[in-house]
Amino acid sequence: MLCDEDEQYFVREVELDDKELRIYQEVNSDVGGVVWDSSIVACYYFLKNRHYWKNKKVLELGSGTGICSIVLAMFGAQVNATDLYERLPLIQLNVSKNEQFLKATTGCVSVEAFDWNEPPPPTNHYDVVLLVDAIYYLKGTNSVLNPICCLIKIYHDIKLLRKESMRQFVVPNKGPKPSNCC
């Protein structure tokens, strides 16, 4: 479904907890401008554990369309949705288009640029660091090591949730290592 005069966006409607989220996706986009099924599966996991998220401070790496951040905020989390600078307008659009679902909660979404190849921004305390299917290309595995290495040094209680099998995910033994790790 095309949504604007320029036919720049199309909408994916996601029904969750008796609410219908409208998530805008870019017609001409790379992998970060669309809703992946893994994000929807994650949102249903969040729904199943909705009470866990109340008042949690969450850092989402590679937010893409922002759907996971929006859903967590619906359940009362304060979420910092991060992605590359060029992704931010799409995340902000989706937050504003689904704002009615956030008004009745204590949750909120802030949006911030974060390039994994750069030093991480000064960090607040986060209860959860979230990364949902944010690596599509193998070359992205080295980049994501930088923020993860830095966050491991800050937070010693790390929990990893992953699906049973991984598709084409191999940590390269050769190649550049993260040079700007904390």
pLDDT of the residue at 71:
97
**Average pLDDT for residues 80-104, to the nearest whole number?**
94
Q: Which two tokens stand for residue 27?
A: 């017609």
d(CA 69, CA 95): 9
Is the pLDDT at 84 greater than 50? The verdict is yes
Residue pLDDT, tens place only, 106-122: 999 999 998 888 876 66
Q: Does 33 or 50 have the greater pLDDT score?
A: 50
**Average pLDDT for residues 9-34, to the nearest whole number?**
87
Give the largest Cα separation in the chain, rounded: 49
Confidence of residue 44 (pLDDT cuts 50, 70, 90): very high
d(CA 133, CA 53): 20
Q: Does 138 or 146 have the greater pLDDT score?
A: 146
pLDDT of the residue at 30:
76
| CA-based torsion, 55, 56, 60, 66: positive or negative | negative
Confidence of residue 142 (pLDDT cuts 50, 70, 90): low
Beta strands in 50-174 (DSSP E): 57-60, 78-83, 108-113, 128-130
Mean pLDDT over the full length of the chain = 80
Closest CA to 73 of 111, 26, 36, 38: 111
| CA-based torsion, 59, 112, 125, 116: positive or negative | positive
pLDDT of the residue at 121:
65
Radius of gyration (C-alpha) of the chain in whole angstroms? 16
- The residue type of 172 is P
pLDDT of the residue at 170:
42
- Going from N- to C-terminal start, the domains of the chain cover 9-135
78 in Cβ contact with 56 (< 8 Å): yes
Q: Does 48 or 145 have the greater pLDDT score?
A: 48
pLDDT of the residue at 168:
43
Q: Does 18 or 154 have the greater pLDDT score?
A: 18
Q: Does 127 or 51 have the greater pLDDT score?
A: 51
80 in Cβ contact with 124 (< 8 Å): yes
How would CATH label the architecture of 9-135? 3-Layer(aba) Sandwich (3.40)
Q: Which two tokens stand for residue 14?
A: 């996601």
In this structure, the chain runs to a length of 182
